[in-house]
Copies of this chain bind each other. A is one copy, B any other.
């Protein structure tokens, strides 16, 4: 049994519907680190009058997405925010890759993350990435693969970029417990697909057939074979509606985050910019209870090691806050899915600043939103998975446990 099941089931049992509105604003990669030379973090450096106002009205804290020291990808980071222990609910790499390009995965679909590769005449891999083939060239080859047909199975092949593509298999009796065909080194042949359970044997056979037909279709090309990894299905998890009686809407400009929101049954708004997001929140205010708004620039600037650009990204977000909160949600949380310090230029394990504002907050007397302030905040340090329960509690959407 997953470790956190009892807590999740308890929350589902206690959840009730009401008229309240909840808004979760995720500034991707929000948390930062101050430079050794002094000064504050990106968030502490930014001028954020609106976030500071929210801090004054709310409670601050620091959230750990998985466990201390663990740096999460976007999948575990968001699953934590959606109330799961990310070690309990794993989203396979095939599924994540499919979500990342906006592929509408059905619950029974099997997805794999694939590479175009190069093999020699004996079938031994000479380049696992086909010389990092250019995207334009790769796309043509991937289109050929999309035309392959396998009896009794629908085959979808979608290009991602360069040598990477996604394979999705749709059909009866396909389970996903199949080992990678990528041996992770050159000099040997791609592995046959090995089913780890009896129920996955058909999937393994289909994958082997796909690889054989792919090799024929790519004969003579630089990229003349395929490697599969992360064969997986969508995790079976209850939707926000079933679990918490929340009609929820995701407002994210990147497909990956829409896909993650769809995993928990959120509806997805068609938005490309922050203006779209603000407009969509306003238009759909009466139709939904829970709004998940995703903001990417805090992460991408951090990844690029651009401290000042991340500061500006935070200031832009702060500027959008009043419009975002125009409907006066009963509960507001602003946080990240993980930290992306521009000092490191990558996702990190550092706890994420959180501000939670609601009428029933026990205010902590802090009126600035920054990592140093959050460290002294009323929420203390907690795992991200607890945020959703706290939001539901402040929205009076959780009944009492026991008499």
| Chain A interface (Cβ < 8 Å from any Cβ of B) | 3, 6-7, 10-11, 14, 33-34, 36, 41, 62, 66-76, 86-87, 90-91, 93, 96-97, 341, 343-344, 346-351, 359-365, 371-372, 375-378, 380-382, 386, 388-393, 398-403
Q: A360-B33, A393-B349 are in contact. Are A401 and B71 (CB under 8 A)?
A: yes
Do the beta carbons of B96 and A7 come within 8 Å of each other?
Answer: no
Q: A401-B76, A403-B75 are in contact. Are A70 and B350 (CB under 8 A)?
A: no
Tell me what chain A mostly uses at the interface: helix, strand, loop, or mixed.
Answer: loop
CB of A322, distance to nearest CB on chain B (Å): 20
Do the beta carbons of B393 and A41 come within 8 Å of each other?
Answer: no
Copies assembled = 2
Q: A360-B33, A393-B349 are in contact. Are A67 and B403 (CB under 8 A)?
A: no
Chain B residue, CB-CB nearest to A65: B401
Q: How far is the CA of A93 from the CA of B72 in the complex (A)?
A: 39
* B contact residues around A398 at 8 Å (CB): 69-71, 349
Do the beta carbons of B402 and A11 come within 8 Å of each other?
Answer: no
Most chain B CB atoms below 10 A, which of A6, A91, A93, A365: A6
Find A7's partner among B87, B348, B389 (CB 8 Å cutoff): B87
* B contact residues around A347 at 8 Å (CB): 400
Chain B residue, CB-CB nearest to A359: B36
* B contact residues around A389 at 8 Å (CB): 67-70
Known contacts A71-B401, A74-B403; 14 further A-B pairs (Cβ under 8 A): A10-B87, A14-B70, A33-B362, A41-B362, A68-B390, A70-B398, A70-B401, A72-B400, A347-B400, A349-B398, A350-B362, A351-B380, A364-B372, A364-B375
